[in-house]
Amino acid sequence: MKPRSRGPLAVVAAALLLTASGCAGGSDPLANSPAGGVDEGTLVIGSQQYYSNTIIAEIYAQLLEAAGYDVERDFEIGQREVYASELTNGNIDVFPEYTGALLQYYDPAAGSGTPEEVYEALTESLPEGLTALEPAEATDQNEFVVTPEYAQEHDLVSIGDLAGVDDVVMASSPEFETRPFGPEGLREVYGVEVELQVIDDSGGPLTVNALLDGEVDVTATIYSANPAISEHGLVVLEDPKGLLPSAHLVPVVSDDADDEARAILNEVHSLLSQDELLALNSRSVNEQAAAEVVAREWIEKHSLLD
C-alpha cells in the first residue's frame, strides 16, 4: 500500500485557504446569507436552540397560520450571537425573545433595573425596523440556584449570603465569565468569589446532576423557567441588588408583521404567566412531548382558535 503522503496536508491547506478567503471580505461570515430569499408576505419565525423558546415560536406559528399568514419556521438557530444579525437585517420577522438578555446584546453597557425600565431601554436600543411587543409576565432569566441542603447548611437566602462561604464552585456556561453579571459582577456587587466549572448543557441533566451530587455548589445556568427547580425543590437565591437582568418573554417583530399579527402575538403574551411557562417546559422536559404538540395543546387550552 502506498502511503497517503500529501492528501491530508492538501485538504488542510485547502480548508485554510477557504477560511482565509471567506474572512478576507472583511464582513461577518455568518451575516452574508441572501436577503429576499423568501416571498413577500411570508412571515419567517425564528427560535433559539432552546426547547422552551421553540415551543413559544411554534405557538406563534400555529396561530399565525390559522389567521391566514404564510409562515416559514426557521427554528433552533443557535444562540443570540448566531441569529441576531438575521433578525437585524430583516431575514427573520418574528422571534420570541427575553427582555434583559436581548437588551444586553444590543447595549452591552446597559445596567439592570426594574422589568419596566429594562423593557423601556430595550425599545430604545433595538435597531430600526425591529419592535418589541408586549412582554409577558413569565420570565426565563439567569438565576443562582442551590440545593435546599446547601442553602440550609450555609444559611443562604440571597446571593450576598454566599460572600461568607469558602470555595464556592459555580456551574456556568462558557460565556458566563464574560457577562456583566458573571464573576466580576458577583465580586463587585455582592463581594462573592466563585470558582467556575463549565457545564455546557444550558441547565440540562448534566448541570442538575452535578448540583444534586454536590460536584458544584451553585448553578448559573438553571434559569427561572427550568422545571428542575420545582421538581427537586431547588432554592433560587434572591437578588435584592438587581445584578441579574430580568428576562421577560417578549415577541420581537420586523415591519413585515402587520397590526393583526402583532395583536395575535400580544394576546399570547398576555396569557403567558410564570406558571404557564413552567407547565409548557415541564411538558417538554419531563414528558418529552414535541414542541408542536405542546403548542397545540396550549392553544386549545386557552381556546385561542375558537
33 contributes a contact to other proteins by CB under 8 A: no
175 contributes a contact to other proteins by CB under 8 A: yes
Q: Distance between CA 142 and CA 130 in Å, rounded? A: 24
From the CB of 215, what's the least distance to other proteins, in Å?
5
User: How many residues are listed for the chain in this entry?
Assistant: 306
DSSP for residue 187 = I
Looking at this protein, which amino acid is placed at residue 298? W
Instruction: Report the site for other proteins in 199-238 (rule: CB under 8 A).
Output: 199-201, 205-206, 209-210, 213, 215-216
C-alpha count within 13 angstroms, C-beta hemisphere, residue 88: 15
- Of 47, 52, 142, 173, the residue at the interface with other proteins (CB under 8 A) is 173
What 3-state class would DSSP assign to 229?
helix
What is the per-residue DSSP string for 84-108? HHHHHTTS--EEEEEHHHHHHHH-T
282 contributes a contact to other proteins by CB under 8 A: no
From the CB of 50, what's the least distance to other proteins, in Å?
13
- State which residue, 25 or 41, has the beta carbon closest to other proteins: 25
CB 179 within 8 A of CB 185: yes
Q: Residue 181's closest CA among 217, 213, 141?
A: 141
- Of 72, 76, 77, 79, the residue at the interface with other proteins (CB under 8 A) is 79
168 contributes a contact to other proteins by CB under 8 A: no
- Read off the C-alpha cell for 217: 455548589
- State which residue, 55 or 199, has the beta carbon closest to other proteins: 199
Instruction: Report the site for other proteins in 100-159 (rule: CB under 8 A).
Output: none
31 contributes a contact to other proteins by CB under 8 A: no
From the CB of 148, what's the least distance to other proteins, in Å?
20
From the CB of 209, what's the least distance to other proteins, in Å?
6
Name the segment binding other proteins (CB under 8 A); options: 16-24, 131-139, 142-150, 269-277. 16-24
Instruction: Report the site for other proteins in 182-201 (rule: CB under 8 A).
Output: 197-201
3-state helix, strand, coil in the chain (%, to 5): 45, 15, 40
What 3-state class would DSSP assign to 132?
strand
Name the segment binding other proteins (CB under 8 A); options: 18-26, 41-49, 139-147, 252-260. 18-26
DSSP for residue 34 = P
**Torsion-angle region of 102 (φ positive above 0: left; ψ -120 to 50: alpha; else: beta):** alpha
What 3-state class would DSSP assign to 226?
coil
CB 142 within 8 A of CB 166: no
167 contributes a contact to other proteins by CB under 8 A: no
From the CB of 171, what's the least distance to other proteins, in Å?
8
- Read off the C-alpha cell for 135: 412582554
Cα–chain-centroid distance for residue 165?
A: 30
- State which residue, 20 or 109, has the beta carbon closest to other proteins: 20
From the CB of 163, what's the least distance to other proteins, in Å?
24
- State which residue, 208 or 264, has the beta carbon closest to other proteins: 208
* Total interface residues for other proteins by CB under 8 A: 35
Q: What are the b/e assignments for 142-159, b being 16+ CB within 10 Å?
A: bbbbbbeebbeeeebeeb
Q: Which residues bind other proteins (CB under 8 A)?
A: 1, 3, 5, 8-9, 12, 15-16, 19-20, 23-24, 26-29, 79, 81, 173-175, 177-178, 197-201, 205-206, 209-210, 213, 215-216
